[in-house]
Structure 1
Amino acid sequence: MLVFQIKPMEQVCIDPTRLEALYAQLDSANAEDILCRALEDVALRLRHCATLFEQGNLEDLRKNTRTLIAVGDQIGMSAMNRVATDVVICIDSRDDVALAATLSRLLRVGERSLCAVWNAGDNSL
């Protein structure tokens, strides 16, 4: 018996103008501090999304995901924000199957977006 394991690789889309604007408005040290805090917040919120889903707490999952969108917007995580918006739509439509699939995609896109923004921030310094 053959067993295949599928490992989806999600494309991420980062808006570099958001990072450029951040670094243009602030000195490098302050911009890097804000970027690091935002990245940490996104990482924590992604983890919290998974926990809230496992607990069946859709109300808090919706709130957490909306905040994730706002933080992601500040640092140009446009692909993650599109998927997070889809998660909110799934919650609002009470489509549990679509929510499970879309949340899994959000976690994948979110992780890759964190790496992409971190690398873009390193290049901005």
Structure 2
Amino acid sequence: MTTWGEILEHVTLLRQDEAVRLDATRLETLVAQLGATGAEDVICRALEELAARLSHTERCYREARSDDMRRSARSLIAISDQIGMQKLAQVAGDVTDCVDRGDRIALAATLARLLRIGERSLGEMWDIQDLRI
């Protein structure tokens, strides 16, 4: 009979550490179009909306509301594109693809990735905002 200790010897912990990069060109374009203050306002509102949408997307998943979850993930794409968060936009697109395919296992994994990338992206952007103050 195998013991828990023997089983745990064979367990591999996967480290979930994916780097995020903000598109500096997109941010520079916002500043050029709106001025520093206008761009900062747009970015702050977008960050607040992204945080709310990430939370809403997760809640819809837990409540099995796939249509609402898809809409929420689609809105993440547009908002994150606007402020140069391409990785977040890509993963939100992957979530919508999983919903469309009805692939519940891939959806669970991809949603977890979306939440990780979202958290890191928001943190990265807030760090940039803090440096400017």
Q: What TM-score, normalized by structure 2, do the two folds share? A: 0.85
Residue 44 of structure 1: aligned partner: 52
Q: Which has the larger radius of gyration?
A: 2
Offset from partner CA, 1:50-76 (integer Å, 9 cap, x none) = 100000000010001001100000000
Contact 1:23 / 1:31 at 8 angstroms: preserved in 2?
yes
Deviations 1:7-52 (A, max 9, x none): 5112112111111111111222221111100000001100111100
**Alignment partners' CA distance in 2, 1:12 and 1:66:** 19
Q: After the TM superposition, which parts of structure 1 deviate over 6 Å for at least 4 consecutive aligned residues?
A: none
Match of 1:103 in 2: 111
SS in 2 for 1:27: helix
- TM-score of the pair, normalised by structure 1: 0.90
Match of 1:27 in 2: 35
Q: Which 5+ residue runs of structure 2 have no aligned equivalent?
A: none
Which of 36, 59, 72 is the aligned partner of 2:67? 59
Query: Shift in Å at residue 109 of structure 1?
Result: 0.3
CA RMSD for the aligned pairs?
1.8
**Identity between Structure 1 and Structure 2 (%):** 48
Return 5+ residue gaps in structure 1 as ranges.
none
| Distance (whole Å) between structure 1 residues aligned to residue 13 and residue 101 of structure 2 | 30
